[in-house]
């Protein structure tokens, strides 16, 4: 029967075997015959941020490249004898170096996808390291062997062109989701006001203008309708398909603006309103201005004078006064410097104000 201590020792030994990259290079290599999957068990540290497989490959490539640079001159004194040269080239593709390059690579908790990629494609990484170091790793590893990345403008499991084709991706008006990756959906995410599978349709309030003569891959521009139109077929108020709110249809001139009294209308003039504008009310015939001052519907202060306007009103101070800090105060004479005045001095009445002014200058020099 095994003692608990034996079990613990065996468990620890198993743990050590399960994570070779945490051992020193020599220890790790001793247990690994050449051409074994030295990247196995490179550490699955649990779920985290998920990159698509192409981004994960590119990340792995960046990390490997850095380590390759870091380990390039190791065990090499810099001499140029034949012996040193051959020692250098042996090092370049040595397993010890590979172990060092891969040691705790993509080990950050956030780099699970990178880790996953290395687990899935370890034989490609090894093949590149031993036989293809002269080839650009990004292309060799991500596109040609593991096939997780697609060429520019291509996307999805079969690396098909993005909608609109590689030269007119999403009509140039949107983003091809996941472009360059086998994991990308390749759907267009269109910018306003474009819509549709390849962003060649226009949202309401715009008309569509085709800029090329390729019906299979049209290049389309969406142009805003005239403000008088709700929908249109082209430029100007005569190209309206329907009129915007506040406009009415005329056969000759297109959509025309309603009377200011109308929010919507069937024809010109305040008698053609369907609904009245704010500040107007329906009398038997017309939408007529509401006199907010007379109906006391205004919000002027008691020291202000209410002035009615078409559709609205405003609040003024009496003549000779101005609004200062929410109060009407006598207007300062232009020859006096306003900055010398304290507001409290302005409470004197008009007759005294004229006499008081000469005293202001000496007072202000204090």
Ligand X SMILES: *[C@@H]1O[C@H](CO)[C@@H](O)[C@H](O)[C@H]1NC(C)=O
**Residue 86 CB neighbour total at 10 angstroms:** 10
Minimum distance from residue 228 beta carbon to ligand X (Å): 9
Confirm or reject binding of residue 249 to ligand X (CB under 6 A). Answer: yes
Between 217 and 238, CB nearer to ligand X: 238
Which residue has tokens 């005239």? 226
Nearest position to ligand X, beta carbon? 249
Q: For 40-60, b where at least 16 C-beta lie within 10 A, e where not — what string? A: eebbeeeeeeebbbbbbbbbb
CB of 259 to ligand X, least distance (A): 18
Task: Give the span between the Cα atoms of 247 and 310, in whole angstroms.
Answer: 19
Angle between helices 95-102 and 82-92 (to 10 degrees): 50
CB of 263 to ligand X, least distance (A): 18
Q: In whole angstroms, what separates CA 356 from the centre of its chain?
A: 63
* The token pair that represents 172 in the structure block: 């140039």
Q: Is 271 in the site for ligand X (CB under 6 A)?
A: no
Residues whose CB is less than 8 angstroms from the CB of residue 129 and which lie 6 or more positions away in sequence, other chains included: 93, 98, 101
Q: Which stretch binds ligand X (CB under 6 A): 8-16, 154-162, 211-219, 236-244?
A: 236-244
Q: Which of 148, 222, 240, 244 binds ligand X (CB under 6 A)?
A: 240
Among 6, 19, 133, 242, binds ligand X (CB under 6 A): 242
Residues in Cβ contact with 45 at an 8 Å cutoff, skipping those fewer than 6 apart: 107, 109, 112, 115
Q: Is the bond leading into 193 cis (omega within 30 degrees of zero)?
A: yes
Question: Residue 9: CB partners within 8 Å, gap ≥ 6?
Answer: none
Whose Cβ is closer to ligand X: residue 3's or residue 251's?
A: 251
Asked whether position 243 contacts ligand X by CB under 6 A, the answer is yes
Residue closer to ligand X, measured from CB, 225 or 317: 225
- State the number of binding residues for ligand X (CB under 6 A): 7
Q: Which stretch binds ligand X (CB under 6 A): 27-35, 249-257, 303-311, 316-324?
A: 249-257
Q: Is 245 in the site for ligand X (CB under 6 A)?
A: no
Q: What are phi and psi of 22, to 5 degrees?
A: -90, -10
Q: Please report whether residue 251 would count as binding ligand X according to CB under 6 A.
A: yes
Q: Is there binding between residue 258 and ligand X (CB under 6 A)?
A: no
Q: Does position 51 bind ligand X by CB under 6 A?
A: no
Among the candidate windows 43-51, 108-116, 240-248, 358-366, which touches ligand X by CB under 6 A? Answer: 240-248
**Positions that interact with ligand X (CB under 6 A):** 240-243, 249, 251, 255
């Amino acid at each position: 029967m095994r003692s608990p201590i034996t079990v613990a020792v065996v468990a620890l030994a198993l743990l050590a075997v399960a994570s070779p990259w945490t051992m020193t290079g020599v220890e790790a290599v001793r247990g690994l015959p050449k051409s074994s999957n030295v990247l196995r068990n490179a550490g699955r540290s649990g779920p985290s941020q998920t990159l698509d497989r192409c981004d994960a490959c590119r990340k792995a490539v960046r990390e490997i490249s850095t380590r390759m640079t870091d380990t390039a001159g190791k065990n090499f004194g810099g001499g140029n004898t034949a012996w040193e040269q051959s020692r250098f080239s042996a090092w370049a593709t040595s397993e010890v170096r590979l172990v060092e390059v891969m040691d705790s690579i993509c080990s950050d908790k956030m780099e699970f996808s990178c880790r996953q990629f290395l687990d899935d494609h370890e034989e490609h990484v090894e093949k590149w390291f031993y036989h293809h170091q002269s080839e650009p790793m990004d292309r060799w590893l991500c596109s040609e062997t593991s096939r997780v990345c697609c060429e520019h403008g291509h996307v999805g499991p079969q690396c098909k062109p993005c909608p609109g084709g590689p030269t007119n991706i999403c009509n140039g008006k949107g983003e091809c989701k996941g472009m360059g990756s086998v994991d990308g959906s390749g759907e267009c995410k269109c910018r306003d006001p474009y819509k549709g599978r390849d962003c060649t349709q226009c949202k309401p309030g715009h008309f569509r203008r085709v800029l090329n003569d390729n019906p299979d891959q049209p290049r389309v521009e969406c142009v805003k309708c005239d403000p008088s139109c709700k929908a249109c077929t082209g430029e100007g108020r005569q190209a309206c398909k329907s009129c915007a709110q506040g406009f009415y249809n005329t056969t000759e001139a297109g959509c025309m603006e309603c009377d200011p009294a109308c929010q919507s209308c069937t024809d010109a003039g305040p008698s053609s309103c369907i609904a009245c504008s704010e500040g107007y009310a329906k009398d038997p015939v017309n939408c007529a201005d509401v006199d907010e001052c007379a109906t006391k519907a205004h919000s002027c202060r008691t020291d202000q004078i209410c002035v009615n306007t078409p559709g609205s009103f405003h609040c003024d101070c009496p003549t000779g006064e101005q609004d200062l800090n929410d109060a009407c105060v006598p207007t300062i004479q232009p020859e006096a410097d306003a900055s010398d005045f304290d507001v409290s001095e302005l409470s004197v009445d008009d007759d005294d104000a004229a006499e008081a002014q000469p005293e202001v200058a000496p007072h202000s020099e204090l």
